Structure 1
Amino acid sequence: MGRWGTVALAALAVVATACSPGSAEPATSDEASPSTTRTPRITDDSGRPPVTFDPCYDIPDDVMNAAGYDAGKKELADMPMGTYTFLGCAYEGTVSIPGVLARYDLNILSGNVTLEEEQDKNGHVAVPTVINGRPALLEVDPGNVETCRYVLETNFGVVILSRLYQKDHSGPVPQSEWCNEFEQTISTIEPFIQN
């Protein structure tokens, strides 16, 4: 995982609140029609573009629920880093296979680092790909066990979707299973990401 991904995920774990961002109008839609761009919750002093896609507010709850994540328990975090910013949202999965899978957890980070910067940091585990026509990276790092990441390019930077396989058994999960069916989830979420 890249330096900013590690820092941002650590910050997400530390500062995520237990409350859902439900005090704002939740995004609900059966269609992939991105919401109006809002003023970013936070900005940094880097001169980088503002992060205009907020994963906790701009992905409809019904889309996340249908993808197997409990949108009612999503947690948000503000992460101004000075030289870059990440807006994060954490979801707990609802899919369970007793003796195999407890659930998949999902962290979505929207940040103003570039896809090229991410490639420079994680090129050793990154494979270029395309999701719905959008340039992306697939990252499977053997050192980040049971985690699959997609990094999608945006006009402000990137959106990182990192899924953790919470196993329901002892022993390792084969690396070949870390990304099972995750691309389908990413393809469902991608249309809501403002360019």
Structure 2
Amino acid sequence: MEKFTIHKGVVAPLDRSNVDTDAIIPKQYLKSIKRSGFGPTLFDDWRYNEPGEPGMDHSKREVNPDFVLNKPRYKDASVLLARRNFGCGSSREHAVWALDDDGFRAVIAPSFADIFFNNSFKNGFLPIVLSEEIVSKLFEEVEATEGYELTVNLEDQVVVTPSGESFAFEIDDFRKYCLLNGLDDIALTLKHSDEIAAYEEKRKATSPWLFN
């Protein structure tokens, strides 16, 4: 997966609490197990004025002009700002895939649902917990400034505003290591490929009947 070190991007403010995974990516799109192609269906029920289905040409659907991601000023946003309990609901990993595929690299909120939070790290996506007070301050600044950007520095564990104000965030050391080095579960396993191969050869010698 892509390494996450320092990311600077336009912020899109999703001013809603308890955004569940069905809102992030509706159930009709869960048939695919590919990690790509979900971007146009992110927040599908809010983004469009009519229901969508897999295989549709989403570029021809009527969009909801009032939805934040459809506003021109947030077209290239790559940092999502949200309220508490983001990612609640079902355990679908597709929710993270959809955010990533639509160009987002991080989401900032006061709290996250546990499963979404864990899925994010496994897919190179960074969920950042900041206090309600700080998040509200950021919402105000984003609304007041078109093209508002935040810099997320994972190495230093800070979010930096355009004025230079910085806010520290916590992250588990192992998760930080994986993100900085672009290591998902498979890549972590492959780091031990020589040891695995040696073990398999040893097993073939001691228990050859298992490999017939």
> Same-fold call, TM > 0.5?
no
Say which structure is richer in strand: 1
Query: Under a length normalisation based on structure 1, what TM-score does the superposition of the two structures give?
Result: 0.29
Higher helix share: 2
Scaled by the length of structure 2, the TM-score of the pair is 0.28
Structure having the higher Rg: 2
Kindly indicate whether structure 1 or structure 2 has the higher relative contact order, using CA contacts under 8 Å at least 6 residues apart: 2
